[in-house]
Structure 1
Amino acid sequence: MSVLITGADGYIGWPTALRIATRTDDRVVLVDNFGRREWVESVGSKSAVPIADINERLEAAEETLGLRNLSFVEGNLTDRAFVDELLSVHEPETVVHTAAQPSAPYSQINGERANFTQHNNLQSTRNLLWGLDENGLSDTHFVETTTTGVYGAPEFPIPEGGATMENGSERDEVPFPAMAGSWYHLTKSHDAANMRLAHKQFGIPISDVRTAIAYGTETEETAADPRLATRFDFDYHFGVVVHRFCAQAIAGYPMTVYGKGEQRKPFIALEDAVEGLARLALTDPDERPDDHVVYNQVTRAISIVEIAETIADVADEFDLDVDVKHFENPREEDETHKMEIESDRYDDLIDGQSTTFEEGIRQILGTLIDYEETVVAHEDRFLPGVLDTDEGDDTTIEYEEESSPSETVQASTEDD
């Protein structure tokens, strides 16, 4: 038997693959097409932490962690023939699907990027779900990282699963409505609906893991050898708000909070995200629910102002002089919105949060100090700007900046 991990070259996929491989003797099959590396390069940025090529990663996993059960297959999941061959050859007992174009800002650049994001993400998931059924693998546990971004920002507590609809004296649980705010987040809303349908039609056991904004530079496994490091993006398009703020602190930029900045968003440390996925992947088939289950992969909600102030406080330990500045909010938004999101099911899965937000910030700053040169060299990528594409037609994509480098953009906080 085997475990199949898609997007295994990515920020969450790679450390998840290592965690799973350390806990099973089964074959762990890694799949990727290295798209994330290309997308980040296309916006003029790179990972602050150097990332080895896949062969070096696998060598390090065997030499440092003693892992001999990892194998890698390069391919594109939007190619249905490739997916069918992949599933028929390896017959996975579990599929952990972390492959996607994961950036909301990237999906918003123009219609071309929006179309690419929707086709790439939705086609990949559909190919996997149909491939499992058509290859006689409907008992395979399908675990996908969707996103808490499918919920939008409702004024009521977000359930861990469906919503309750009432009509007079009648009530029933229904899927949570798609309230996504970007073309990327909407792909995950569609994925959630497609997974529900696949469970109903094919009987595939589904774990829909709605991932919060993940932060951190390493896990126990990736810290064992520099060649095992996972990527760390800090640019406007692929760097989540915590990573951007930390990179700005390293580069000496003030952290800008628009308005009060008291609105809260859901977060989770990389370590806690990886742990939950590994436990789901390795759940005994006789013990896992033969059902469709939603997990809110969240450990706590944090406000924008708390993010900035925590980074400023921890930065003192590294002799970094970091300012937090408040500016008039250019957006029409509730600056005090207190998101409430239920996550008891996920909390039970991982036996509670293992990494505090302050510990995560300390880890990030401690890592980035060693790569200050890379961060500073790409500090213009903190903000949106002009992109040059290399697609054979000398296309230039232009879009307006939201602020000057001296007034660092807060940007999207919902990317994950």
Structure 2
Amino acid sequence: MSIIVTGGDGYVGWPTALRIASRTDERVVAVDNFGRREWVASVGATSATPIASMDERLAGAREVHDVHNLSFVEGDLTDRGFVDELLSVHEPRVVVHAAAQPSAPYSQINGERANFTQHNNMQATRNLAFGLHENGLSDTHLVETTTTGVYGAPTFPIPEGGATMENEGERDEVPFPAMAGSWYHLTKSHNAANLRLAHRQFGLPISDVRTAIVYGTETEETRADDRLKTRFDFDYYFGVVAHRFCAQAVAGYPLTVYGKGEQRKPFVSLEDTVEGLARLALNDHAERPSEHVVYNQVTRPISIVGMAETIASVGDEFDLDVDVTHVENPRDEDETHQMEIENERYMALIGEQRQDFEGGVRDILEALTRYGDTITAHEDRFLPDVLEE
């Protein structure tokens, strides 16, 4: 028996695999096809932090953390034959599924990339669900990382799980309506629906971890050695807004807030994200879910202007002169939307928030000031280009 972490070369997947392996004697198998590296390169961008090869990462884990139970398998989860072989050989007790094409802007470039994103993300998840069932592994706990982006931006509090509907005096709980706003986010909506069906038909125990916007460069394990660092994307397509703002601060660009910028977005630190996934993976059999369980993996919503002002304030500690400017909003959105999202189940899982936004920004700026040359060499990647034409 083992624990498999898909997307094991990725921003979240690598530090998650490393943490799980450091806390158990079980075999932990990281799986990836190195697609993220190729997709980022295809838009002319790069990670600000140098990414070691997988061999170097594994060597660093052994030497720095005495982790000898972590291995790597290269393969494509959209290939059903590969998935069947992976599952039959390693017979996982848990699969943490963190593999996906993760960028909404990338999925919006054109029809080719939209089709690729939908095929890649949904085919991989279906292959895992059917592979577990058809290989006699229906007791395996499948932890799927989806996204809070499936919710859209409703004006009422978002539940952690289903919504209650009432009609003609009858009440029932139904899945929260999918209101995704990109071809990428729709893949996660479809995956959530497919996994509910997989639970109902195959009896698979499913944890649907709806992850907010993740920020940060470090976890407890990655700090120890540069070989263990995870990637940090800051471009328009793959860099989340907090990361782009931090990179712009290092490059001397003003942080441009659209309109009032008072609308709140859900955030969670990399440290807290990894902790939640690791705890789900390491629960013993008695604690694993027998049902389809939704976790809203978010610590708190943060306004866009509040995020920019925090980055500017922390930037002073690094002698960065950061300006925050407001520009006309090109988007049709409520600039004052105050997102409310329930997260009691997730907070009970991790116990307490391990890193707040200010601490995450401090980590980010500390890392990025080391690699300022990389950022300035790719500062044209802050904005979209002709790929969208």
Q: Which whole-Å deviations, capped at 9, do the CAs of 1:192-218 have from their partners, x for residues lacking one?
A: 001000000000000000000000001
SS in structure 2 at match of 1:236: coil
Shift, 1:288, TM fit: 2.0
Contact 2:259 2:329 in 1 (8 A): yes
Partner of 1:414: none
Partner of 1:84: 84
SS in structure 2 at match of 1:52: coil
Q: Which whole-Å deviations, capped at 9, do the CAs of 1:98-149 have from their partners, x for residues lacking one?
A: 0000000000000000000000000000000000000000000000100000
Structure 2 residue identity aligned to 1:285: H
SS in structure 2 at match of 1:144: strand
Partner of 2:236: 236
Q: Which whole-Å deviations, capped at 9, do the CAs of 1:160-207 have from their partners, x for residues lacking one?
A: 001111112111100111100000000000000010000000000000
Shift, 1:398, TM fit: 4.6
Unaligned runs of 5+ in 2: none
Partner of 1:157: 157
Unaligned runs of 5+ in 1: 387-396, 400-416
Partner of 1:310: 310
Matches within 5 A, 1:207-222: 207-222=207-222
Matches within 5 A, 1:270-285: 270-285=270-285
| Whole-angstrom CA distance in 2 between matches of 1:324 and 1:34 | 36
Partner of 1:17: 17
Structure 1 residue identity aligned to 2:360: G
Partner of 1:413: none
* RMSD of Structure 2 on Structure 1 (CA): 0.7
Q: Which whole-Å deviations, capped at 9, do the CAs of 1:32-63 have from their partners, x for residues lacking one?
A: 00000000000000000000010111111111
Partner of 1:405: none
Q: Which whole-Å deviations, capped at 9, do the CAs of 1:63-119 have from their partners, x for residues lacking one?
A: 111111011110000000000000000000000000000000000000000000000
Structure 1 residue identity aligned to 2:301: A
Identity, in percent, stands at 77
Shift, 1:331, TM fit: 1.8
Structure 2 residue identity aligned to 1:37: R
Contact 2:110 2:388 in 1 (8 A): no
SS in structure 1 at match of 2:286: coil
Contact 2:2 2:27 in 1 (8 A): yes
Partner of 2:177: 177
Structure 2 residue identity aligned to 1:122: M
Partner of 1:327: 327
Choose 330-339 or 268-277, whichever is displaced more: 330-339
Partner of 2:97: 97
TM-score (norm 1): 0.93
Partner of 2:67: 67
Contact 2:6 2:31 in 1 (8 A): yes
TM-score (norm 2): 0.99
Structure 1 residue identity aligned to 2:119: H
| Whole-angstrom CA distance in 1 between matches of 2:232 and 2:326 | 27
Equivalenced residue count is 389
Structure 1 residue identity aligned to 2:44: G
| Whole-angstrom CA distance in 2 between matches of 1:361 and 1:382 | 18
| Whole-angstrom CA distance in 2 between matches of 1:85 and 1:192 | 24
Shift, 1:289, TM fit: 2.3
Structure 1 residue identity aligned to 2:201: Q
Contact 2:207 2:289 in 1 (8 A): no
- Identify the structure with the greater helix proportion: 2
2:286 paired with 1:286 = yes
Structure 2 residue identity aligned to 1:320: L
Partner of 2:7: 7
| Whole-angstrom CA distance in 1 between matches of 2:327 and 2:383 | 16
Partner of 1:42: 42
Structure 1 residue identity aligned to 2:141: H
2:132 paired with 1:145 = no
| Whole-angstrom CA distance in 2 between matches of 1:308 and 1:44 | 26
Shift, 1:384, TM fit: 0.2
SS in structure 1 at match of 2:172: strand
SS in structure 1 at match of 2:273: helix
| Whole-angstrom CA distance in 2 between matches of 1:287 and 1:118 | 33
